[in-house]
Amino acid sequence: MKTDKSNRLKPRLPRGLADRGGAEIAASERMLAKIREVYERYGFEPMETPFIEYTDALGKFLPDQDRPNEGVFSFKDDDEQWLSLRYDLTAPLARHVAEHFDALPKPFRSYRAGWVFRNEKPGPGRFRQFMQFDADTVGAASPAADAEMCMMMADAMEAVGVARGDYVIKVSSRKLLEGLREVLSGQSAIGDAQWLGVLRAIDKLDRLGPNGVFQLLTGGRKDESGDFTKGAGLAADGADRVMRFLGFCVDAAQARAFYAPDTSPGDLERDNFRRLERLEKTAGFGPTGAQALLDLKALAQFARAGGYDESRILIDRSVVRGLEYYTGPVFEAELTFKVPNEKGESVVFGSVGGGGRYDGLVGRFRGEDVPATGFSIGVSRLFSALKAVKSPIVTGLAEHGPVVVLVMDRERVEDYQRMASELRSAGIKAEMYLGQAGMKAQMKYADKRGSPLVIIQGENEKAKGEVEIKDLIEGARQATAIASHEEYKSARPAQFAVPEAKLVEAVHEALRRQGKA
RNA sequence: GCAGCCGUAGCUCAGUUGGUUAGAGCACCAGAUUGUGGAUCUGGGGGUCGGCGGUUCGAAUCCACCCGGCUGUACCA
């Protein structure tokens, strides 16, 4: 069918979405399998939910009429109810647990990998459909459950080939920040909206640096394109208090920056318990903060008892994480090795996953809070990290292609089909060439498919009751030494004949020589 | 969402002050080689110059709007 060019359909993908090829799928499956092994070993069981949920079950508000798809992809069911594509795996899990609460063993320990969707501006490494790999424990209030999450995340990192020392699980607590708010409110009340602004400012520490954060805590900040961001509106002494909580003090020199990292001995201490002591002394918390310190201390003790030292699980008060539903400890898996960015600068790879305690999420469906903790790995981000460190899990060669049976004589396709079937019955990946092209093109096809071998049986071989087997890998190697085409043609490198009856045996043997069977 | 930069073949890019039929390299297809993936040579296919309007005798080139990409920023449950 020929269509007029002017109305021909354009093949194109909406922005922020991507197709995946065989090599990437295989590598990603290997990675997921390693993570799955770790989760299973900890006693978690698989559980999945669908891509679509009622919008209200996902935890936010109904889409508004003007912009129904802001952030989340939404549409109306035929009964006028709003449905949405899930944007994480935690809210659907909470829905599932609440729905089957009485039937589930508690604590309920489950894991799942799945696609999630966010209708946001995509960028390099940021898609509108991406995969997360979650594990959650619902019904356990003990910090032991949180500690276990951190340990499991650390194990998962090592299982996929991130060396110890190349990652760290950073831990803080939403309650620490709440304690800070209590102290600040002692001077002047801080409303929810203003507090949200403070949290957002803190969250930008890694990107904007201490002085950028200070600006956002107070009046506001102008970025390099001249755009102005309104600040949280704290008074200078309040903002100073926040900065000191984050581990910064006024730069004595005041040369270029107002704030510099606090380099007092306690702050450089790589010991979770001393870090907590110092935090208690310098920050000055209200009752909620005091509780957070107890939680974190317990978590640190569990980690130490499990043999996970500060090179793997480290208390770090600058971790903020998702601002909405976390209620206690929060964690972040950070890769600490450096990679070149687009500008050629060397930067740490950064976060590949995170999580925390969300005691209120299941409770939205019930009368009471249900304690829960979990974490999520950003699969594609971890995947690109593994490529950066050349983990064997993702750099391993792609699966080889099928043995291709060439169609030399169109009258005899049944014979070729039978050969392919024989090879398959023997467990060998094989196919008969299904296109229309001649032999040369068939060879090119086999080459492109990554075939280890092709099977050739034209008139000559048939007459002798033989088949030719050509080793494409060895052939390519030999070809580099051949300059003229005449020689190349007559040499027929890496090719040999076997009796027709010995086809399967000979193919097995040839694959073995290649180390592929 | 806001701001800046950018859109020419599948890819990387040329294209003069606005002036014939818009080019190159790589990739792709075919032939040289009635039956051999490489190399070489020859030939071929592929473009509504992101889209739609406007200015002009004439637009890839100038203008307006739209779409897409990149960067920064905002948002990120």
Rounded to the nearest 5 percent, the helix, strand and coil shares of chain A are 40, 20, 35
CA of A477 to C1' of B23 (A): 37
Q: ∠ at Cα A351 (A349, A355), nearest 5°?
A: 170
Q: Is strand B in 7 Å reach of the CB of A69? A: no
- C-alpha A213/C-alpha A210 separation (Å) is 5
Any strand B atom closer than 7 Å to A223 CB = yes
Residue-level pLDDT, tens digit, chain A, 517 residues: 334 444 556 777 788 888 888 888 888 899 999 999 999 999 999 999 999 999 888 876 555 555 566 688 888 889 988 889 999 999 999 999 999 999 999 999 999 999 999 888 887 778 888 999 999 999 999 999 999 999 999 999 999 999 999 999 999 999 988 888 888 887 777 888 888 888 888 888 877 878 888 888 887 777 665 667 778 888 888 888 888 888 777 765 554 456 666 665 555 568 899 888 888 887 667 788 899 999 999 999 999 999 999 999 999 888 888 667 899 999 999 998 887 665 566 777 888 999 999 999 999 898 889 999 999 999 988 988 888 788 888 876 667 899 999 999 989 999 999 999 999 999 999 999 998 888 999 999 999 999 999 999 999 999 999 999 999 999 988 888 887 888 888 888 889 999 999 999 999 999 999 876 5
* CB of A207 lies under 7 Å from some atom of strand B: yes
Q: Is the CB of A342 under 7 A from strand B?
A: yes
What pLDDT is stored for residue A323 in this prediction? 66
Share above pLDDT 70 across residues of chain A, in percent, rounded to a whole number: 88
This prediction's pTM: 0.87
Cβ–Cβ < 8 Å for A161, A387: no
Looking at residue A310, what is its pLDDT? Answer: 93
Per-residue flag: A122 CB under 7 A of strand B? yes
Cβ of A24 near strand B (under 7 Å)? The reply is no
A68 touches strand B (CB under 7 A): no
Asked if A492 CB < 7 A from strand B, the reply is yes
Instruction: Please state whether beta strands A346-357 and A372-378 pair in parallel, antiparallel, or not at all (unpaired).
Output: antiparallel
Q: In strand B, which positions have an atom below 7 A from any protein CB?
A: 1-4, 29-40, 47-48, 68-77
Shortest CA distance to A156 belongs to which of A437, A364, A353? A353
Instruction: Indicate yes or no: strand B within 7 A of the C-beta of A5.
Output: yes
Distance A6 CA to B22 C1' (A): 20
Angle at A21 between CA A15 and CA A27, to 5 degrees: 115
Contacts of A252 (CB under 8 A, 6+ apart): none
Smallest CA–C1' separation from A358: which nucleotide?
Answer: B77
Longest CA–CA span in chain A (Å) reads: 99
Q: What is the pLDDT of residue A232?
A: 84
Residue A71: its pLDDT value, please? 80
